[in-house]
A and B are shown apart, each in its own frame.
Chain A
Amino acid sequence: MEPEIYRQMGLTDEEFDRIKEILGREPNYVEVGMFAVMWSEHCGYKSSRPVLKLFPTKAPWVLQGPGENAGIVDIGDGQAVVFKIESHNHPSAIEPFQGAATGVGGIVRDIFAMGARPIAVLDSLRFGPLDDPRTRYLMGGVVGGIAFYGNCLGLPTVGGEVYFEPSYAGNPLVNAMAVGLIEQKNIRRGTAAGVGNAVMLIGARTGRDGIHGATFASEELSEASEERRPSVQVGDPFREKLLIEACLEIINEDLVIGMQDMGAAGITSSSCEMAARAGTGMEIDIALVPRREEGMTPYEVMLSESQERMLLVPKKGAEERIRAICRRWGLEAVIIGRVTGDGLMRIMENGRVVAEVPARALTDQCPVYERERRRPAYLDEVRQRDLRRLPQPEDYGQVLLGLLAAPNLASKEWVYRQYDYMVRTDTVAGPGGDAAILRVKGTSKGLALTVDGNGRYCYLDPERGGAIAVAEAARNLACVGARPLAITDCLNFGNPEKPEVAWQFYQAVMGMSRACEVLQTPVTGGNVSFYNETESGAIYPTPVVGMVGLLPDIEKRCGMGFRREGDLLIMVGETYPEIGGSEYLATFHGLVAGEPPALDLEREKAVQALVREAIAAGLVTAAHDCAEGGLAVALAESALAGGLGAEVELASDLRPDYLLFSESQSRILLAVAPEAGDRVLDLAREKGLPVTVIGRCGGHSLAVRINGRTLFNLSLEEMGKQWRESIPVLMAR
């Protein structure tokens, strides 16, 4: 075979030699195609696998860790939550609407492939600055695509995050997380067990969509990738909705052994992964695969990434019943092959073998690379910047108003009002709060969900930034009263073949692992997206954490809005002069520099435990973490959320801008009834936590005094206008 051929598919000479060695012969074109996609970074995790091993993955409540379509955690009563996050960055950069839509479709399929009823979606987005028309086009398309797909499926998109930074301008990030609920007895895994069992394909017909999408996602974006555009798939949420209902009926009637969605690398990946997990093989006749287009070659059929398809291994004798269920839902279901005992993927076309490779050669024998790591040179420059001489603002009210209008902090209602976040009637707290809360019908339980990540912190210190992403997610859950259970993560980075990126990746995973250990939130799965680069450089290293938590009694939940006139405002935790990497520093001083805030994980854990305990005891009327924008922004957000102002009196030696806008970690702002104040203070002191009464709720404005001097007094109206209108106005340009 000409080297040009396999190189174009993304294989190196060494990898090609390895294939020859495994097979003991020259592979044919179809086989090379199968290896190329399965050994791509996207499917094979060849640069990340050794590093991902660092993640803690076990806890008594983790029923399924990494390695399956999605992770599973126990929530009691024989029920479990299934969840996973995935990126669709590259497709969305090329075609934002369809790219984001099919991203939602794909991650939702991972959830019902495990047998779970999907119940919610969250999204984590990164774009360039909003004053760029291209960003507005991308954001409009991405949000529209997520809305189109999720709304049509009848899944509430209950939370998410959106950030704007120049580093994402050419390479936006679109990560979608899906969550499902399951009776534990219904859990299915993606295995093809039972020699002689049929292999069925259900759902959409196969077309020439997205051939080599996986390889595509494993390259930097360039002029050349523009030309590969036809590889972008179009989503059909209507068909996926039918697929969900049909698959859940099939699960409920206990008709399948294993099931897997077809995402990247289509039939190739789903079939060989199912076989490899079971230690079996498969014989597939691709002539039996229903096509949308004429004249497709075996190569095209095997690699097509047509959406809305599932691969099933039925129990013996269940084939007819599965067909009948699919027919009722208007879906095609065909037997395309059977499970074999020889460990081989044998692909036939009308009886002629077109490819024959060991299933495990495609999965487990994917080469693994220990990438060279080097601390990037930029770090010294940005970290050592002296931030002590920055000019102090004159008008703090203006600074706060400006921060509220900064797109990273402004209300994201423009985004989530396009998402149906109420369908399924379980959304007790939707987007806009610290974490979404879903009730579990028929129980007193609630699920709390959040996604978090701060690329700026990770750029300045990936280890700390990674740890903060986990800590902040857990803190968000604590603020609503939930105990965090586990995480799923999406690791968005540049080109791992560059030692600097490999270093960032390793550091971020170390930091996340450390935080997961201490906070007892194991990793149950996730996704790695490398090659997020354009000609102008890599994105900020951006690990995104999706976290699931449990509220044993949903009646004991908390929101972030101030609710009662006269309630005391209590700050748990301490503010340090930490403005490195802050939104204040970026917005007012135009700097992304310094050290991100320090994180003491033991302190973090104690703060969260305290807040949960106080909420469970019914002592708290509002809780909100101090995150980006610092204390001042946290106060404003809680005031706006509740439509109630506050008077705050701070005493401190810190510079006022540091005090107000520092992003010190492990701080949570509480509102408590005056009569409950002492109990909260006592609880905190018992745990050795710093705690301060800083003011009271009331009125229609937010007034802040420091050491007796009024720094600002802003009406809710004024603040609300800046905060609410910023993004709609920018998007309407």
Chain B
Amino acid sequence: MKFGVIVFPGSNCDQDVHYALGSVLGQHVDYLWHGDTSVSGYDCLILPGGFSYGDYLRAGAIARFAPIMPAVIDFARSGGLVLGICNGFQILLEAGLLPGAMMRNACLQFRCQWTYLKVENNATPFTNRFREGQVIRIPIAHGEGNYYADAATLAQLEANRQVVLRYCTPGGEVIPAANPNGSVGNIAGIINREGNVLGMMPHPERCAEGILGGTDGRELFASIVDCWQRGERLGA
């Protein structure tokens, strides 16, 4: 399986994702330059975290016009697997590959901390190694992770089970106290309707090895590999 990690100017988790996929999971992984226009030959694209274009104006707003983005959009529309982590999630929202928008954290500060997440849907290429309802632990680090969508969009997301991850307590309760950024419905990650594009604020690449304090991130990446090996490529 071949992963491509897209490097935007200002991406800063690109090397971390590369390391997790390449050195920890032993997968083939390449960097893809934002100025390129093709993503052909890859099985899964990752839009990593960071501050693309400094996150100036709005996080992800400028990045979504990078030359590579039309190819990413085509890839996604034809069923290719796309994972946007943190800033990558913000770019996917700005690009319209996922619904909704990201606002500044309700606390108005950056937050770096471990969070507990409830796996609301494990029938996705990204979460199939988890049990439904399982509580996993992955860190966040962002200043704009306050997910917003209007009521109609939210209803659709819920109806289609597109909410994949929610912030929760260690015991799995989805309550305001477990919400680090004010995100509507404690949403931490959503998938598109077709089920091949996931955006999530938490950073799985930061917990892919025991020495970093957890391995749930590794399971998330391994889910992608499993899914691909089973030939469950969606769409195309």
Binding site for B on A (CB under 8 A): 144, 147-148, 151-154, 236-239, 241-242, 328-330, 416-425, 427-428, 439, 441, 554
Q: How far is the CB of A551 from chain B (nearest CB, A)?
A: 12
Contacts of A418 in B (CB 8 A): 109-112
Q: How far is the CB of B157 from chain A (nearest CB, A)?
A: 28
A422→B112 contact, CB < 8 A: yes
From A329, A417, A428, B9 is in contact (CB under 8 Å) with: A329
From B51, B56, B205, A425 is in contact (CB under 8 Å) with: B205
Known: A151-B110, A422-B203, A425-B205. A439 touches B211 (CB 8 A): yes
A425→B110 contact, CB < 8 A: no
State the main secondary structure of chain B at its contact with A.
Answer: mixed
Given contacts A241-B51, A418-B109, A422-B212, 11 further A-B contacts (CB under 8 A): A236-B54, A238-B56, A328-B35, A329-B9, A418-B112, A419-B112, A423-B141, A425-B16, A425-B19, A427-B212, A441-B19
Going nearest first, the 3 A-B pairs with the smallest beta carbon separation are A154-B12, A238-B54, A420-B141
Known: A152-B10, A425-B212, A428-B211. A238 touches B16 (CB 8 A): no
Separation of A554 and B12 alpha carbons in the complex (Å): 25
Q: How far is the CB of B215 from chain A (nearest CB, A)?
A: 13
B211→A238 contact, CB < 8 A: no
Contacts of A144 in B (CB 8 A): 109
Contacts of B143 in A (CB 8 A): 151
Q: How far is the CB of B64 from chain A (nearest CB, A)?
A: 16
Convert B34-49 into 0s and 1s, putting 1 for each residue whose CB lies closer than 8 angstroms to a CB of A. Answer: 0100000000000001
From A241, A329, A416, A428, B12 is in contact (CB under 8 Å) with: A241
A237→B112 contact, CB < 8 A: no
Known: A236-B54, A427-B212. A420 touches B110 (CB 8 A): yes
B145 part of interface (Cβ distance < 8 Å) = no
From A147, A148, A236, A423, B16 is in contact (CB under 8 Å) with: A423
**Could you give 21 example pairs across A and B, Cβ below 8 Å?**
A147-B109, A151-B51, A151-B141, A152-B55, A154-B50, A154-B51, A237-B51, A238-B9, A238-B10, A417-B112, A418-B110, A418-B111, A419-B110, A419-B112, A422-B139, A422-B141, A425-B16, A425-B20, A425-B209, A439-B211, A441-B23
B15 part of interface (Cβ distance < 8 Å) = yes
Q: Which residue of A lies closest to B55 (CB)?
A: A152
Q: Which residue of B lies closest to A413 (CB)?
A: B113
Q: Which residue of A lies closest to B23 (CB)?
A: A441
B118 part of interface (Cβ distance < 8 Å) = no
Q: Which residue of A lies closest to B111 (CB)?
A: A417
A421→B112 contact, CB < 8 A: yes
Known: A236-B54, A238-B54, A422-B203. A154 touches B211 (CB 8 A): no
Contacts of B56 in A (CB 8 A): 238
A417→B113 contact, CB < 8 A: yes
From B10, B49, B205, A242 is in contact (CB under 8 Å) with: B10
Binding site for A on B (CB under 8 A): 9-10, 12-13, 15-16, 19-20, 23, 35, 49-51, 53-56, 109-113, 139, 141, 143, 203, 205-206, 208-209, 211-212
Contacts of B35 in A (CB 8 A): 328
Known: A147-B110, A236-B54, A427-B212. A422 touches B9 (CB 8 A): no
Contacts of A441 in B (CB 8 A): 19, 23
B111→A237 contact, CB < 8 A: no
Separation of A419 and B205 alpha carbons in the complex (Å): 18
Separation of A427 and B50 alpha carbons in the complex (Å): 17
Contacts of A554 in B (CB 8 A): 211
Q: Which residue of B lies closest to A429 (CB)?
A: B213
Best-buried of A241, A417, A420 by chain B (most CB within 10 Å): A420
Contacts of A239 in B (CB 8 A): 54
B206→A242 contact, CB < 8 A: no
Contacts of B113 in A (CB 8 A): 417
B141→A425 contact, CB < 8 A: no
B111→A428 contact, CB < 8 A: no
Q: Which residue of A lies closest to B139 (CB)?
A: A422
From B12, B19, B208, A423 is in contact (CB under 8 Å) with: B12
Q: Which residue of B lies closest to A427 (CB)?
A: B212
Q: Which residue of B lies closest to A431 (CB)?
A: B112
Q: Which residue of B lies closest to A328 (CB)?
A: B35
B54→A237 contact, CB < 8 A: yes
Separation of A560 and B23 alpha carbons in the complex (Å): 30
Q: How far is the CB of A690 from chain B (nearest CB, A)?
A: 35
Q: How far is the CB of A555 from chain B (nearest CB, A)?
A: 8
Separation of A238 and B143 alpha carbons in the complex (Å): 15
A420→B112 contact, CB < 8 A: yes
Separation of A151 and B111 alpha carbons in the complex (Å): 11
Q: How far is the CB of B191 from chain A (nearest CB, A)?
A: 25
Q: Which residue of A lies closest to B208 (CB)?
A: A425
Separation of A153 and B50 alpha carbons in the complex (Å): 8
Contacts of B111 in A (CB 8 A): 417-418
Q: Which residue of B lies closest to A238 (CB)?
A: B54
Q: Which residue of A lies closest to B141 (CB)?
A: A420
Q: Which residue of B lies closest to A143 (CB)?
A: B109
Contacts of A241 in B (CB 8 A): 9-10, 12, 51
Best-buried of B16, B110, B143 by chain A (most CB within 10 Å): B110
Separation of A152 and B15 alpha carbons in the complex (Å): 15
B9→A153 contact, CB < 8 A: no
Contacts of A329 in B (CB 8 A): 9
Contacts of A328 in B (CB 8 A): 35
Q: How far is the CB of A121 from chain B (nearest CB, A)?
A: 13
Q: Which residue of B lies closest to A422 (CB)?
A: B206
Contacts of B208 in A (CB 8 A): 425
Separation of A386 and B111 alpha carbons in the complex (Å): 47
Contacts of B12 in A (CB 8 A): 152-154, 241, 423
Known: A152-B51, A237-B51, A238-B51. A425 touches B206 (CB 8 A): yes
Q: Which residue of B lies closest to A236 (CB)?
A: B54
A242→B9 contact, CB < 8 A: yes
Contacts of A237 in B (CB 8 A): 51, 54
Q: How far is the CB of A445 from chain B (nearest CB, A)?
A: 13
Contacts of A419 in B (CB 8 A): 110, 112
Contacts of A428 in B (CB 8 A): 211-212
Separation of A423 and B13 alpha carbons in the complex (Å): 7
